[in-house]
Amino acid sequence: MKAIIAGGGTGGHLFPGIAVAREIQRRYPRAEILFVGAEQGIEARLVPKEGFPLRTLPIGGLKGMGLQRKAKNAVSMMGAVFKARSILTEFKPDVVIGVGGYASFPMLAAAIMGGFPRVIMEQNAIPGLANRVLGKRVDFAAITDPRTRDFFGDRGVVTGNPVRPAFKSIAPKAHVAPYTILVFGGSQGAQAINKAILEALAFLSDLKNDLRFVHQTGERQIEEVRRAYESRGFQADVRAFFNDFHEQYAAADLIVSRSGATTVAELKAAGRAAILIPFPFAADDHQTKNARAMAEEKAAVLIETAELSGQRLADEIRGLISRPDRLKEIEDNARRIAIPDAEQRIVNLIESAIEKHV
């Protein structure tokens, strides 16, 4: 098995791709897997640490850019397609798998032109731009929401969103003080969550000996957040980014985070209770939909941005850690709605795509 996994840009795109790569390796111990990403994406830092080779494409985004930058990036996109074709010629994969993000577009476009088997993975109910444009020209689309079939027709197959194996082996935790609160807003951090959690500390001062914070801030606010915890006397491990995130999940009694599709899938697989604060400007407001679906299953607590304040967040934290039975109920519900074999289902699709082209 020789496979190219293309895309990334954020952990939400990259980590499901890594989970699928691990399943390919499990089935095919001699598999050769090549990741192809953007020069500036998170994949440039993380893929080599996961032990996979990486090729990068000189590519930028088209959404939310000025006209001049859009024109420049459109030209670079065409150049990236030509580079992607050379990668295909050199590597000769059995299949190309697009995980979303800017780098997936030129790689999939080149695979279509070259007649290679191709599969895309779509984590959200409303597909991203690359998947919308190319979705009718792939063999299969692995989706998490049945409504997404409207974009892909019969090519769309509900598989769930894969997570890395380490998250699925996390054991239930006994909740005793000091309680560990894991806070993060994605691989780049989230200013609104950082601000709210720091404001919440003033309302949690009587619990400073019973709480321990582990906080992924992103690069921009790390010093500000670190100083705030120190000045208020809270124990906190503050870093720009954690490479061992499954270990942080395992240690957490409660998680405060955004509600991207991959985060939600990891919460379910790990069986961890969370306060979800959706990013309100995500495409088609998919993060709010993700969080609301969890809240309706009593598998998380939802705080929408319009309702977010330091006091509201502190009240929710206090209410949850004072009720270990409620934490356990949320954890059990999260595990109940997990799809633990999503990566296996996707690799089944990959095998079917290859068979179609034999």
* pLDDT of res. 41: 84
Interatomic CA distance for residues 312 and 246, integer angstroms: 27
Return the bridge partners of 156, or none.
Answer: 141
| Type of residue numbered 321 | I
pLDDT of 34 strictly over 60: yes
Residue with tokens 């969370």: 274
Query: Residue 70, class by beta-carbon neighbours within 10 Å (0-12 exposed, 13-18 middle, 19+ buried)?
Result: middle
| Tens digits of residue pLDDT in 161-189 | 999 889 999 999 999 999 999 999 865 55
Which tokens sit at 161? 């969103």
Percent of the chain exceeding pLDDT 90 equals: 75
Binning pLDDT at 50, 70 and 90, where does residue 66 land? low
- The greatest distance separating any two alpha carbons of the chain, rounded to the nearest whole angstrom, comes to 66
Tell me what pLDDT residue 357 has: 94
348 has a pLDDT exceeding 90: yes
**pLDDT at residue 74, rounded to an integer:** 59
Please state, in angstroms and rounded to a whole number, the distance separating the CA atoms of residues 78 and 73.
9
Average pLDDT over residues 251-262: 95
Q: Which of 145-149, 254-258, 305-309 has the lowest mean pLDDT?
A: 145-149
Please, what are the domains in the chain?
Answer: 2-161+340-356 (3.40.50.2000), 167-336 (3.40.50.2000)
- DSSP state for residue 211 in the 8-state scheme: E
Q: 291 or 189, which is more confident? A: 291
Report residue 259: phi and psi, to 5°: -130, 45
Pick 101 or 210 by higher pLDDT: 210
Is a pLDDT exceeding 90 seen at residue 73? no
What is the arithmetic mean of pLDDT over 15-25?
96
Amino acid (one-letter) located at 50: E
Cα 139 to Cα 227: distance, rounded to the nearest angstrom? 51
Q: Helix, strand, coil: what percent of the chain each, to 5?
A: 50, 15, 30
Token digits of residue 186: 């994605």
**So what's the pLDDT on residue 187?**
57
Residue 70 has pLDDT above 60, yes or no: no
Q: Where are the alpha helices (DSSP H) in 31-126?
A: 43-46, 67-91, 104-114
The per-residue pLDDT for range 81-97, each reduced to its tens digit, is 999 999 999 999 999 99
Binned at pLDDT 50, 70 and 90, residue 67 comes out as low
* Residue 274 bridge partners (DSSP): 255
Average pLDDT value for residue range 124-131: 81
pLDDT value for 62: 47
As a whole number, the mean pLDDT across the chain is 91
Average pLDDT over residues 256-284: 93
Q: What's residue 249's pLDDT?
A: 97
Q: Residue 220 has what pLDDT?
A: 83
Residues in CB range of 74: below 8 A, 6 or more apart: 62
